[in-house]
Structure 1
Amino acid sequence: MSHSPLIDHLAGIRSKQPWLVMSAAEKFSLSGSDDKAISHFYSFEAKNTEEQTFAIPDGCVDILFDCDESRPSAEVFGTPMEAITIELNKNHRYFGVRFASGVMPDFLNASAEELVGHHYNLLDIVPHANQMFEDIVSSVDLSEQAALFGRFFNNKEIRKSSDLTSQALQSICETNGTIRINDLEDLTGYTSRTLQRQFRADMGMSPKAFCRIIRCQSAVYDINHSEGVTFSDLACDLGFSDQSHFLREFKKLVNATPLDYLNRVKHQTYLEKIQYL
Protein backbone atom coordinates (compact mmCIF):
# COMPACT_ATOMS: atom_id res chain seq x y z
CA MET A 1 0.00 0.00 0.00
CA SER A 2 1.43 3.39 -0.97
CA HIS A 3 1.53 6.23 1.52
CA SER A 4 1.66 9.98 1.08
CA PRO A 5 5.10 11.60 1.60
CA LEU A 6 3.74 13.24 4.77
CA ILE A 7 2.65 9.91 6.29
CA ASP A 8 5.98 8.35 5.30
CA HIS A 9 7.71 11.25 7.08
CA LEU A 10 5.61 10.80 10.22
CA ALA A 11 6.16 7.03 10.22
CA GLY A 12 9.90 7.64 9.96
CA ILE A 13 10.15 10.11 12.85
CA ARG A 14 13.36 9.36 14.72
CA SER A 15 12.51 11.27 17.93
CA LYS A 16 10.42 8.81 19.92
CA GLN A 17 8.60 9.22 23.23
CA PRO A 18 7.23 5.67 23.51
CA TRP A 19 5.90 5.94 27.07
CA LEU A 20 3.88 8.99 26.03
CA VAL A 21 2.33 7.01 23.17
CA MET A 22 1.51 4.13 25.50
CA SER A 23 -0.06 6.53 28.03
CA ALA A 24 -2.82 7.29 25.50
CA ALA A 25 -6.23 5.88 26.40
CA GLU A 26 -6.92 5.14 22.73
CA LYS A 27 -5.23 6.68 19.70
CA PHE A 28 -2.07 8.80 19.73
CA SER A 29 -2.53 11.14 16.77
CA LEU A 30 0.36 12.63 14.77
CA SER A 31 0.25 15.53 12.33
CA GLY A 32 3.09 16.90 10.21
CA SER A 33 4.34 20.45 9.73
CA ASP A 34 5.43 22.42 6.68
CA ASP A 35 8.04 24.12 8.87
CA LYS A 36 11.25 22.09 9.04
CA ALA A 37 11.94 23.43 12.53
CA ILE A 38 8.92 21.46 13.80
CA SER A 39 9.17 17.67 13.72
CA HIS A 40 5.44 17.09 14.26
CA PHE A 41 2.34 17.81 16.32
CA TYR A 42 0.55 15.21 18.42
CA SER A 43 -2.55 14.76 20.56
CA PHE A 44 -4.01 12.12 22.87
CA GLU A 45 -6.24 11.58 25.86
CA ALA A 46 -4.43 10.26 28.94
CA LYS A 47 -5.45 6.91 30.40
CA ASN A 48 -7.62 6.70 33.49
CA THR A 49 -4.89 4.89 35.46
CA GLU A 50 -2.19 5.65 38.01
CA GLU A 51 0.49 4.24 35.70
CA GLN A 52 3.67 6.33 35.57
CA THR A 53 4.69 8.01 32.32
CA PHE A 54 8.33 8.59 31.41
CA ALA A 55 10.06 10.97 29.03
CA ILE A 56 13.30 9.72 27.49
CA PRO A 57 16.22 11.62 25.94
CA ASP A 58 15.42 12.73 22.37
CA GLY A 59 17.36 15.97 21.78
CA CYS A 60 14.09 17.85 21.22
CA VAL A 61 12.19 20.73 22.79
CA ASP A 62 8.50 19.91 23.37
CA ILE A 63 5.58 22.13 24.31
CA LEU A 64 2.80 20.12 25.95
CA PHE A 65 -0.66 21.66 26.39
CA ASP A 66 -3.11 20.19 28.91
CA CYS A 67 -6.43 21.16 27.30
CA ASP A 68 -8.64 20.52 30.31
CA GLU A 69 -11.64 22.88 30.32
CA SER A 70 -11.35 23.86 33.97
CA ARG A 71 -7.57 23.76 34.55
CA PRO A 72 -5.70 24.20 31.25
CA SER A 73 -1.91 24.57 31.33
CA ALA A 74 1.13 24.29 29.09
CA GLU A 75 4.75 23.40 29.77
CA VAL A 76 7.96 23.64 27.77
CA PHE A 77 10.21 20.60 28.12
CA GLY A 78 13.88 20.53 27.20
CA THR A 79 15.34 17.12 26.42
CA PRO A 80 16.01 14.99 29.50
CA MET A 81 19.40 13.32 29.77
CA GLU A 82 17.97 10.09 31.17
CA ALA A 83 14.46 8.71 31.71
CA ILE A 84 12.35 10.98 33.93
CA THR A 85 8.75 10.78 35.15
CA ILE A 86 6.25 13.29 33.82
CA GLU A 87 2.88 14.05 35.36
CA LEU A 88 -0.18 13.49 33.21
CA ASN A 89 -3.70 14.11 34.48
CA LYS A 90 -6.07 11.18 34.00
CA ASN A 91 -8.59 11.59 31.16
CA HIS A 92 -7.22 15.01 30.18
CA ARG A 93 -6.77 15.90 26.50
CA TYR A 94 -3.23 16.86 25.49
CA PHE A 95 -1.78 18.62 22.47
CA GLY A 96 1.96 18.69 21.85
CA VAL A 97 4.49 20.40 19.61
CA ARG A 98 7.82 18.63 19.10
CA PHE A 99 10.58 20.64 17.50
CA ALA A 100 13.12 18.86 15.34
CA SER A 101 16.08 17.33 17.12
CA GLY A 102 18.73 19.98 17.81
CA VAL A 103 16.39 22.94 17.12
CA MET A 104 16.20 25.66 19.77
CA PRO A 105 13.20 28.03 19.33
CA ASP A 106 14.28 31.63 19.81
CA PHE A 107 11.00 32.80 21.37
CA LEU A 108 11.85 31.02 24.65
CA ASN A 109 13.32 33.18 27.41
CA ALA A 110 15.74 30.44 28.44
CA SER A 111 19.21 29.44 27.29
CA ALA A 112 19.96 26.07 25.71
CA GLU A 113 21.68 24.97 28.92
CA GLU A 114 18.70 26.09 31.03
CA LEU A 115 16.36 24.02 28.86
CA VAL A 116 18.28 20.74 28.99
CA GLY A 117 16.80 18.49 31.65
CA HIS A 118 14.23 21.07 32.79
CA HIS A 119 10.67 22.15 32.12
CA TYR A 120 8.93 25.49 32.53
CA ASN A 121 5.45 26.95 32.46
CA LEU A 122 4.93 28.16 28.89
CA LEU A 123 3.57 31.56 29.89
CA ASP A 124 6.57 32.18 32.17
CA ILE A 125 9.15 31.92 29.39
CA VAL A 126 7.24 32.83 26.22
CA PRO A 127 6.22 36.51 25.96
CA HIS A 128 2.88 37.36 24.38
CA ALA A 129 1.72 33.73 24.20
CA ASN A 130 -1.54 34.17 26.12
CA GLN A 131 -3.84 34.37 23.10
CA MET A 132 -2.18 31.40 21.38
CA PHE A 133 -2.46 29.41 24.62
CA GLU A 134 -6.15 30.26 25.06
CA ASP A 135 -6.98 29.40 21.45
CA ILE A 136 -5.16 26.06 21.52
CA VAL A 137 -6.55 24.77 24.82
CA SER A 138 -10.07 25.77 23.70
CA SER A 139 -9.84 23.61 20.56
CA VAL A 140 -10.51 19.87 20.36
CA ASP A 141 -9.17 19.37 16.82
CA LEU A 142 -5.51 18.47 16.22
CA SER A 143 -5.36 20.07 12.77
CA GLU A 144 -6.83 23.31 14.09
CA GLN A 145 -4.46 23.33 17.07
CA ALA A 146 -1.50 22.73 14.76
CA ALA A 147 -2.63 25.62 12.54
CA LEU A 148 -3.04 27.90 15.56
CA PHE A 149 0.48 27.15 16.73
CA GLY A 150 1.78 27.48 13.18
CA ARG A 151 0.37 31.01 12.94
CA PHE A 152 1.99 31.93 16.25
CA PHE A 153 5.34 30.49 15.12
CA ASN A 154 5.14 31.91 11.60
CA ASN A 155 7.09 35.11 12.35
CA LYS A 156 9.37 33.55 14.97
CA GLU A 157 12.98 32.47 14.56
CA ILE A 158 15.05 29.53 15.66
CA ARG A 159 18.43 30.06 17.25
CA LYS A 160 21.12 29.90 14.63
CA SER A 161 23.77 27.37 15.57
CA SER A 162 27.33 27.99 14.48
CA ASP A 163 28.48 26.27 11.30
CA LEU A 164 30.70 24.09 13.48
CA THR A 165 27.81 22.87 15.62
CA SER A 166 25.56 22.38 12.58
CA GLN A 167 28.22 20.22 10.92
CA ALA A 168 28.67 18.19 14.09
CA LEU A 169 24.90 17.75 14.52
CA GLN A 170 24.52 16.49 10.97
CA SER A 171 27.36 13.98 11.36
CA ILE A 172 26.06 12.73 14.71
CA CYS A 173 22.57 12.13 13.30
CA GLU A 174 23.84 10.55 10.08
CA THR A 175 25.91 8.04 12.07
CA ASN A 176 23.14 7.30 14.62
CA GLY A 177 25.34 8.77 17.33
CA THR A 178 28.25 6.39 16.79
CA ILE A 179 30.78 8.99 15.61
CA ARG A 180 33.73 9.62 17.96
CA ILE A 181 35.00 13.02 19.07
CA ASN A 182 38.34 12.50 17.31
CA ASP A 183 36.40 11.77 14.10
CA LEU A 184 34.53 15.06 14.55
CA GLU A 185 37.90 16.78 14.99
CA ASP A 186 39.11 15.31 11.70
CA LEU A 187 35.86 16.16 9.96
CA THR A 188 35.60 19.77 11.10
CA GLY A 189 39.26 20.65 11.40
CA TYR A 190 38.73 22.03 14.92
CA THR A 191 40.19 20.82 18.19
CA SER A 192 38.08 18.88 20.67
CA ARG A 193 38.17 21.81 23.10
CA THR A 194 36.84 24.29 20.53
CA LEU A 195 34.25 21.84 19.29
CA GLN A 196 32.97 21.07 22.77
CA ARG A 197 32.85 24.73 23.84
CA GLN A 198 30.90 25.81 20.75
CA PHE A 199 28.55 22.81 20.81
CA ARG A 200 27.71 23.37 24.49
CA ALA A 201 27.04 27.07 23.85
CA ASP A 202 24.61 26.19 21.04
CA MET A 203 23.03 23.01 22.41
CA GLY A 204 23.46 23.17 26.19
CA MET A 205 25.35 19.87 26.30
CA SER A 206 28.51 18.23 24.99
CA PRO A 207 28.74 16.44 21.61
CA LYS A 208 29.25 13.17 23.51
CA ALA A 209 26.00 13.69 25.43
CA PHE A 210 24.13 14.38 22.19
CA CYS A 211 25.65 11.24 20.63
CA ARG A 212 24.36 9.29 23.62
CA ILE A 213 20.84 10.63 23.04
CA ILE A 214 20.86 9.80 19.32
CA ARG A 215 22.17 6.27 19.98
CA CYS A 216 19.35 5.78 22.50
CA GLN A 217 16.75 7.00 20.02
CA SER A 218 18.22 4.80 17.27
CA ALA A 219 17.91 1.75 19.52
CA VAL A 220 14.28 2.59 20.37
CA TYR A 221 13.46 3.17 16.70
CA ASP A 222 14.96 -0.17 15.63
CA ILE A 223 13.16 -2.10 18.38
CA ASN A 224 9.86 -0.41 17.46
CA HIS A 225 10.14 -0.99 13.73
CA SER A 226 12.26 -4.12 13.21
CA GLU A 227 11.00 -7.68 13.12
CA GLY A 228 13.15 -10.15 15.04
CA VAL A 229 15.64 -7.58 16.37
CA THR A 230 18.77 -9.13 17.90
CA PHE A 231 20.11 -7.11 20.81
CA SER A 232 23.71 -8.24 20.33
CA ASP A 233 23.61 -7.09 16.69
CA LEU A 234 21.94 -3.83 17.69
CA ALA A 235 24.60 -3.19 20.33
CA CYS A 236 27.32 -3.79 17.75
CA ASP A 237 25.66 -1.60 15.10
CA LEU A 238 25.43 1.27 17.60
CA GLY A 239 29.08 1.04 18.58
CA PHE A 240 28.75 -0.32 22.12
CA SER A 241 31.78 -2.16 23.46
CA ASP A 242 29.64 -5.15 24.40
CA GLN A 243 26.02 -6.16 24.91
CA SER A 244 26.09 -5.61 28.67
CA HIS A 245 27.18 -1.99 28.15
CA PHE A 246 24.25 -1.53 25.76
CA LEU A 247 21.80 -3.10 28.24
CA ARG A 248 22.94 -0.82 31.09
CA GLU A 249 22.78 2.29 28.93
CA PHE A 250 19.35 1.45 27.53
CA LYS A 251 17.93 0.78 31.00
CA LYS A 252 19.20 4.14 32.29
CA LEU A 253 17.88 6.16 29.35
CA VAL A 254 14.61 4.31 28.66
CA ASN A 255 13.71 2.98 32.14
CA ALA A 256 13.43 -0.60 30.91
CA THR A 257 15.76 -3.29 29.63
CA PRO A 258 15.60 -3.78 25.85
CA LEU A 259 13.73 -7.08 26.34
CA ASP A 260 11.22 -5.59 28.77
CA TYR A 261 10.74 -2.64 26.44
CA LEU A 262 10.24 -4.93 23.42
CA ASN A 263 7.67 -7.00 25.29
CA ARG A 264 5.73 -3.91 26.39
CA VAL A 265 5.79 -2.36 22.91
CA LYS A 266 4.48 -5.57 21.33
CA HIS A 267 2.00 -6.30 24.12
CA GLN A 268 0.47 -2.83 24.01
CA THR A 269 0.47 -2.81 20.18
CA TYR A 270 2.44 0.43 20.17
CA LEU A 271 2.36 0.96 16.40
CA GLU A 272 -1.40 0.35 16.25
CA LYS A 273 -1.98 3.16 18.75
CA ILE A 274 -0.42 5.72 16.41
CA GLN A 275 -2.77 7.48 14.00
CA TYR A 276 -1.35 9.64 11.19
CA LEU A 277 -3.42 12.67 10.18
Structure 2
Amino acid sequence: MAKLCAPTPRHHTAYEQPWFVLNSSRYSVMPSEHPAISHFYAFDVALSSDILAVPDGCVDIVFDCDATRPTARICGTPLAAQAVVLHQGHHYFGVRFSPGIIPGFINVLAEELTEQELDLLEVSGFAQRIFERIVQTPLLAEQMRLFNDHLAPRLMGKTSQLTSMVIQQALRHRGDIRIQHLEDLSGYTSRTLHRQFSQDTGLSPKTFCRIIRCQAALETLNTHQDVSFSELALDLGFSDQSHFLRDFKKLVSTTPSDYQRKIVQNAYADRISFA
Protein backbone atom coordinates (compact mmCIF):
# COMPACT_ATOMS: atom_id res chain seq x y z
CA MET A 1 0.00 0.00 0.00
CA ALA A 2 1.44 3.36 -1.00
CA LYS A 3 2.06 5.86 1.79
CA LEU A 4 -0.13 8.93 1.46
CA CYS A 5 1.39 12.35 1.89
CA ALA A 6 0.02 14.80 4.45
CA PRO A 7 -2.23 17.59 3.09
CA THR A 8 -0.31 20.66 1.94
CA PRO A 9 -2.92 22.82 0.19
CA ARG A 10 -1.84 26.20 -1.06
CA HIS A 11 -2.98 26.82 -4.61
CA HIS A 12 -3.48 30.40 -5.65
CA THR A 13 -6.45 30.16 -8.00
CA ALA A 14 -9.03 32.53 -6.56
CA TYR A 15 -12.08 30.33 -7.26
CA GLU A 16 -14.11 33.44 -7.93
CA GLN A 17 -17.81 33.53 -8.60
CA PRO A 18 -17.83 35.70 -11.76
CA TRP A 19 -21.52 36.62 -11.67
CA PHE A 20 -21.10 37.95 -8.13
CA VAL A 21 -18.31 40.22 -9.32
CA LEU A 22 -20.20 41.42 -12.40
CA ASN A 23 -23.30 42.30 -10.35
CA SER A 24 -21.38 44.20 -7.66
CA SER A 25 -20.50 47.86 -7.38
CA ARG A 26 -17.28 46.89 -5.58
CA TYR A 27 -15.72 43.55 -4.80
CA SER A 28 -12.82 43.17 -2.37
CA VAL A 29 -10.69 40.07 -1.87
CA MET A 30 -8.26 39.32 0.93
CA PRO A 31 -6.16 36.12 0.97
CA SER A 32 -6.07 33.85 3.98
CA GLU A 33 -3.06 32.32 5.70
CA HIS A 34 -5.17 29.37 6.89
CA PRO A 35 -4.85 26.35 4.57
CA ALA A 36 -8.57 25.54 4.91
CA ILE A 37 -9.64 28.97 3.58
CA SER A 38 -9.12 30.11 -0.01
CA HIS A 39 -9.88 33.77 0.74
CA PHE A 40 -12.22 36.28 2.33
CA TYR A 41 -14.30 38.69 0.27
CA ALA A 42 -16.77 41.54 0.57
CA PHE A 43 -19.09 43.11 -1.99
CA ASP A 44 -22.03 45.47 -2.44
CA VAL A 45 -24.80 44.27 -4.76
CA ALA A 46 -25.56 46.74 -7.56
CA LEU A 47 -27.88 44.50 -9.59
CA SER A 48 -29.86 41.73 -7.92
CA SER A 49 -31.24 40.03 -11.03
CA ASP A 50 -29.65 37.13 -12.92
CA ILE A 51 -27.03 36.35 -10.28
CA LEU A 52 -25.70 32.84 -10.64
CA ALA A 53 -23.37 30.69 -8.60
CA VAL A 54 -21.11 28.46 -10.68
CA PRO A 55 -19.51 25.19 -9.58
CA ASP A 56 -16.22 25.82 -7.76
CA GLY A 57 -15.89 22.84 -5.43
CA CYS A 58 -15.91 25.22 -2.45
CA VAL A 59 -18.11 25.79 0.56
CA ASP A 60 -18.92 29.45 1.27
CA ILE A 61 -20.19 31.22 4.34
CA VAL A 62 -21.97 34.41 3.32
CA PHE A 63 -23.01 37.09 5.81
CA ASP A 64 -25.68 39.57 4.68
CA CYS A 65 -24.77 42.62 6.78
CA ASP A 66 -28.14 44.33 6.36
CA ALA A 67 -28.89 46.64 9.31
CA THR A 68 -32.47 45.43 9.78
CA ARG A 69 -32.42 41.73 8.87
CA PRO A 70 -28.87 40.35 8.82
CA THR A 71 -28.39 36.69 7.92
CA ALA A 72 -25.63 34.13 7.55
CA ARG A 73 -25.75 31.21 5.14
CA ILE A 74 -23.45 28.29 4.52
CA CYS A 75 -23.52 27.28 0.88
CA GLY A 76 -22.27 24.11 -0.76
CA THR A 77 -20.95 24.08 -4.30
CA PRO A 78 -23.54 23.84 -7.07
CA LEU A 79 -23.03 21.19 -9.74
CA ALA A 80 -24.27 23.46 -12.55
CA ALA A 81 -24.95 27.18 -12.81
CA GLN A 82 -27.56 27.96 -10.15
CA ALA A 83 -29.58 31.09 -9.41
CA VAL A 84 -28.94 32.71 -6.02
CA VAL A 85 -30.78 35.44 -4.14
CA LEU A 86 -28.71 38.51 -3.24
CA HIS A 87 -30.39 41.79 -2.38
CA GLN A 88 -29.67 45.02 -4.21
CA GLY A 89 -27.91 47.57 -2.04
CA HIS A 90 -26.90 45.04 0.60
CA HIS A 91 -23.33 44.58 1.80
CA TYR A 92 -22.02 41.01 2.04
CA PHE A 93 -19.01 39.45 3.74
CA GLY A 94 -17.93 36.01 2.60
CA VAL A 95 -15.54 33.23 3.49
CA ARG A 96 -14.61 30.85 0.66
CA PHE A 97 -13.08 27.63 1.86
CA SER A 98 -10.42 25.82 -0.11
CA PRO A 99 -11.79 23.32 -2.66
CA GLY A 100 -13.09 20.13 -1.07
CA ILE A 101 -12.86 21.43 2.52
CA ILE A 102 -15.87 21.14 4.84
CA PRO A 103 -15.51 23.35 7.96
CA GLY A 104 -15.33 21.46 11.21
CA PHE A 105 -17.59 23.73 13.26
CA ILE A 106 -20.87 22.80 11.53
CA ASN A 107 -23.21 19.92 12.37
CA VAL A 108 -23.87 18.90 8.76
CA LEU A 109 -22.67 15.99 6.66
CA ALA A 110 -20.74 16.88 3.52
CA GLU A 111 -23.39 15.34 1.26
CA GLU A 112 -26.06 17.54 2.87
CA LEU A 113 -24.25 20.69 1.71
CA THR A 114 -23.81 20.00 -2.00
CA GLU A 115 -26.13 22.29 -4.00
CA GLN A 116 -27.73 23.53 -0.77
CA GLU A 117 -27.87 26.74 1.26
CA LEU A 118 -28.41 26.40 5.02
CA ASP A 119 -28.88 28.89 7.83
CA LEU A 120 -25.45 28.99 9.45
CA LEU A 121 -26.87 29.79 12.87
CA GLU A 122 -28.97 26.62 12.80
CA VAL A 123 -26.02 24.32 12.10
CA SER A 124 -23.26 25.95 14.16
CA GLY A 125 -23.38 27.02 17.79
CA PHE A 126 -19.89 28.46 17.44
CA ALA A 127 -21.02 30.85 14.68
CA GLN A 128 -23.87 32.16 16.83
CA ARG A 129 -21.34 33.64 19.25
CA ILE A 130 -19.83 36.06 16.72
CA PHE A 131 -22.64 36.57 14.20
CA GLU A 132 -23.79 39.96 15.48
CA ARG A 133 -20.26 41.32 15.79
CA ILE A 134 -19.38 40.30 12.22
CA VAL A 135 -22.48 41.80 10.58
CA GLN A 136 -22.20 45.04 12.56
CA THR A 137 -18.66 45.94 11.51
CA PRO A 138 -18.16 47.53 8.07
CA LEU A 139 -14.46 46.65 7.85
CA LEU A 140 -13.34 43.55 5.98
CA ALA A 141 -10.13 43.29 8.02
CA GLU A 142 -12.09 43.33 11.29
CA GLN A 143 -14.58 40.75 10.02
CA MET A 144 -11.66 38.53 9.06
CA ARG A 145 -10.09 38.94 12.50
CA LEU A 146 -13.32 37.98 14.25
CA PHE A 147 -13.77 34.93 12.06
CA ASN A 148 -10.16 33.82 12.47
CA ASP A 149 -10.12 34.33 16.24
CA HIS A 150 -13.33 32.43 16.94
CA LEU A 151 -13.83 29.90 14.13
CA ALA A 152 -10.53 29.24 12.34
CA PRO A 153 -9.20 27.01 15.17
CA ARG A 154 -12.14 24.66 14.53
CA LEU A 155 -11.81 24.45 10.75
CA MET A 156 -9.72 21.34 10.26
CA GLY A 157 -10.26 17.71 11.08
CA LYS A 158 -12.89 16.48 8.61
CA THR A 159 -10.71 15.61 5.61
CA SER A 160 -8.84 12.31 5.36
CA GLN A 161 -5.33 12.07 3.93
CA LEU A 162 -6.69 10.06 1.01
CA THR A 163 -9.15 12.82 0.12
CA SER A 164 -6.44 15.46 0.57
CA MET A 165 -4.27 13.59 -1.91
CA VAL A 166 -7.08 13.50 -4.49
CA ILE A 167 -7.75 17.21 -4.00
CA GLN A 168 -4.09 18.11 -4.44
CA GLN A 169 -3.71 16.02 -7.56
CA ALA A 170 -6.89 17.46 -9.07
CA LEU A 171 -5.70 21.01 -8.42
CA ARG A 172 -2.17 20.30 -9.64
CA HIS A 173 -3.49 18.87 -12.92
CA ARG A 174 -6.32 21.43 -13.23
CA GLY A 175 -8.89 18.64 -13.14
CA ASP A 176 -7.33 16.69 -16.00
CA ILE A 177 -6.55 13.48 -14.13
CA ARG A 178 -7.73 9.89 -14.47
CA ILE A 179 -8.91 7.59 -11.70
CA GLN A 180 -6.24 5.06 -12.68
CA HIS A 181 -3.56 7.63 -11.88
CA LEU A 182 -5.12 8.21 -8.45
CA GLU A 183 -5.24 4.46 -7.84
CA ASP A 184 -1.55 4.17 -8.73
CA LEU A 185 -0.58 7.06 -6.47
CA SER A 186 -2.58 5.96 -3.44
CA GLY A 187 -2.60 2.18 -3.70
CA TYR A 188 -6.36 2.20 -3.14
CA THR A 189 -9.08 0.96 -5.48
CA SER A 190 -11.41 3.34 -7.31
CA ARG A 191 -14.26 2.11 -5.10
CA THR A 192 -12.40 3.10 -1.92
CA LEU A 193 -11.36 6.43 -3.44
CA HIS A 194 -14.94 7.21 -4.40
CA ARG A 195 -16.39 6.21 -1.02
CA GLN A 196 -13.88 8.17 1.07
CA PHE A 197 -13.89 11.25 -1.16
CA SER A 198 -17.69 11.40 -1.28
CA GLN A 199 -17.90 11.02 2.49
CA ASP A 200 -15.43 13.86 3.05
CA THR A 201 -16.59 16.32 0.38
CA GLY A 202 -20.09 15.37 -0.75
CA LEU A 203 -18.76 14.97 -4.31
CA SER A 204 -17.37 12.14 -6.38
CA PRO A 205 -13.73 12.48 -7.53
CA LYS A 206 -14.96 12.67 -11.13
CA THR A 207 -17.39 15.50 -10.36
CA PHE A 208 -14.76 17.38 -8.37
CA CYS A 209 -12.25 17.13 -11.23
CA ARG A 210 -14.87 18.33 -13.70
CA ILE A 211 -15.52 21.39 -11.52
CA ILE A 212 -11.82 22.17 -11.15
CA ARG A 213 -11.37 21.89 -14.90
CA CYS A 214 -14.16 24.42 -15.42
CA GLN A 215 -12.57 26.75 -12.88
CA ALA A 216 -9.27 26.46 -14.76
CA ALA A 217 -11.08 27.51 -17.93
CA LEU A 218 -12.61 30.51 -16.13
CA GLU A 219 -9.23 31.53 -14.77
CA THR A 220 -7.72 31.41 -18.26
CA LEU A 221 -10.55 33.46 -19.76
CA ASN A 222 -10.37 35.98 -16.91
CA THR A 223 -6.65 36.58 -17.37
CA HIS A 224 -6.04 36.18 -21.11
CA GLN A 225 -7.83 38.14 -23.81
CA ASP A 226 -6.61 36.22 -26.85
CA VAL A 227 -7.68 32.64 -26.15
CA SER A 228 -8.06 29.85 -28.69
CA PHE A 229 -10.94 27.72 -27.42
CA SER A 230 -9.68 24.69 -29.32
CA GLU A 231 -6.25 25.01 -27.71
CA LEU A 232 -7.80 25.61 -24.29
CA ALA A 233 -9.96 22.50 -24.69
CA LEU A 234 -6.89 20.46 -25.61
CA ASP A 235 -4.84 21.94 -22.77
CA LEU A 236 -7.53 21.01 -20.23
CA GLY A 237 -7.80 17.44 -21.51
CA PHE A 238 -11.17 17.60 -23.29
CA SER A 239 -11.65 15.11 -26.10
CA ASP A 240 -12.61 17.92 -28.47
CA GLN A 241 -13.73 21.56 -28.55
CA SER A 242 -17.42 20.65 -28.73
CA HIS A 243 -17.17 18.71 -25.48
CA PHE A 244 -15.49 21.69 -23.82
CA LEU A 245 -18.13 24.14 -25.09
CA ARG A 246 -21.03 21.96 -23.89
CA ASP A 247 -19.49 21.45 -20.47
CA PHE A 248 -18.64 25.13 -20.03
CA LYS A 249 -22.15 26.27 -20.95
CA LYS A 250 -23.77 23.86 -18.49
CA LEU A 251 -21.52 24.88 -15.63
CA VAL A 252 -21.29 28.63 -16.32
CA SER A 253 -24.64 29.21 -18.12
CA THR A 254 -23.11 30.82 -21.21
CA THR A 255 -20.59 30.04 -23.93
CA PRO A 256 -16.88 30.87 -23.53
CA SER A 257 -17.09 33.54 -26.23
CA ASP A 258 -20.12 35.24 -24.64
CA TYR A 259 -18.53 34.98 -21.21
CA GLN A 260 -15.34 36.60 -22.42
CA ARG A 261 -17.33 39.36 -24.11
CA LYS A 262 -19.12 40.13 -20.83
CA ILE A 263 -15.97 40.31 -18.73
CA VAL A 264 -14.28 42.59 -21.27
CA GLN A 265 -17.30 44.89 -21.62
CA ASN A 266 -17.72 45.12 -17.84
CA ALA A 267 -14.00 45.48 -16.99
CA TYR A 268 -14.04 42.36 -14.85
CA ALA A 269 -10.48 42.59 -13.56
CA ASP A 270 -10.87 46.26 -12.59
CA ARG A 271 -13.88 45.44 -10.42
CA ILE A 272 -11.81 43.32 -8.03
CA SER A 273 -9.60 44.97 -5.45
CA PHE A 274 -7.08 42.90 -3.52
CA ALA A 275 -6.55 44.01 0.05
What TM-score does the superposition give when structure 2 sets the normalisation length?
0.93
Per-residue deviation, 1:220: 0.3
* Cα distance between partner residues in 1 of 2:159 and 2:69: 37
The partner residue of 2:147 within 125, 134, 149 is: 149
Q: Using the TM superposition, name which of 233-242 and 27-36 deviates more.
A: 27-36
* Cα distance between partner residues in 2 of 1:227 and 1:128: 44
Per-residue deviation, 1:170: 1.0
Which runs of 5 or more residues in structure 1 are unaligned?
Answer: 1-8
Q: Could you tell me whether the CA contact under 8 Å between 2:48 and 2:86 is conserved in 1?
A: no
Percent of residue pairs identical? 48
AA partner of residue 34 (structure 2): D
- 1:28 and 2:27 correspond: yes
* Cα distance between partner residues in 2 of 1:34 and 1:190: 32
Q: Could you tell me whether the CA contact under 8 Å between 2:64 and 2:93 is conserved in 1?
A: yes
Question: How is 1:1-277 mapped onto 2 (pairs within 5 angstroms)?
Answer: 12-25=12-25, 27-47=26-46, 49-277=47-275
Q: Could you tell me whether the CA contact under 8 Å between 1:30 and 1:40 is conserved in 2?
A: yes
Per-residue deviation, 1:71: 1.1
* Count of residue correspondences: 266
Q: Could you tell me whether the CA contact under 8 Å between 2:19 and 2:51 is conserved in 1?
A: yes
Q: Could you tell me whether the CA contact under 8 Å between 1:200 and 1:206 is conserved in 2?
A: yes
Per-residue deviation, 1:179: 0.4
Give a deviation string over 1:214-251, Cα, whole Å, max 9, x none.
00100000000113111000001111111111001000
Which runs of 5 or more residues in structure 2 are unaligned?
Answer: 1-9
* Cα distance between partner residues in 2 of 1:154 and 1:211: 27
Query: Alignment partner of 2:184: what SS?
Result: helix
* Cα distance between partner residues in 2 of 1:72 and 1:130: 13
Q: Specify whether residues 179 and 86 from structure 1 end up closer, same or farther in structure 2 by C-alpha distance, changes over 3 A only.
A: same
Give a deviation string over 1:26-70, Cα, whole Å, max 9, x none.
x201112221211111111101x3521000111111001110101
* Cα distance between partner residues in 2 of 1:16 and 1:76: 16
* Cα distance between partner residues in 1 of 2:60 and 2:126: 18
* Cα distance between partner residues in 2 of 1:156 and 1:117: 23
Q: Could you tell me whether the CA contact under 8 Å between 1:103 and 1:159 is conserved in 2?
A: no
Query: Alignment partner of 1:147: what SS?
Result: helix
AA partner of residue 45 (structure 1): D
Q: Specify whether residues 176 and 143 from structure 1 end up closer, same or farther in structure 2 by C-alpha distance, changes over 3 A only.
A: same
Q: Could you tell me whether the CA contact under 8 Å between 1:177 and 1:214 is conserved in 2?
A: yes
Q: Using the TM superposition, name which of 160-169 and 86-95 deviates more.
A: 160-169
AA partner of residue 206 (structure 1): S
* Cα distance between partner residues in 2 of 1:255 and 1:141: 33
Q: Could you tell me whether the CA contact under 8 Å between 1:113 and 1:205 is conserved in 2?
A: yes
Q: Could you tell me whether the CA contact under 8 Å between 1:63 and 1:97 is conserved in 2?
A: yes
Per-residue deviation, 1:97: 0.6
* Cα distance between partner residues in 1 of 2:157 and 2:182: 22
Q: Could you tell me whether the CA contact under 8 Å between 2:111 and 2:201 is conserved in 1?
A: yes
Q: Specify whether residues 173 and 13 from structure 1 end up closer, same or farther in structure 2 by C-alpha distance, changes over 3 A only.
A: closer
What TM-score does the superposition give when structure 1 sets the normalisation length?
0.92
Query: Alignment partner of 1:172: what SS?
Result: helix
* Cα distance between partner residues in 1 of 2:91 and 2:48: 16
AA partner of residue 23 (structure 1): N
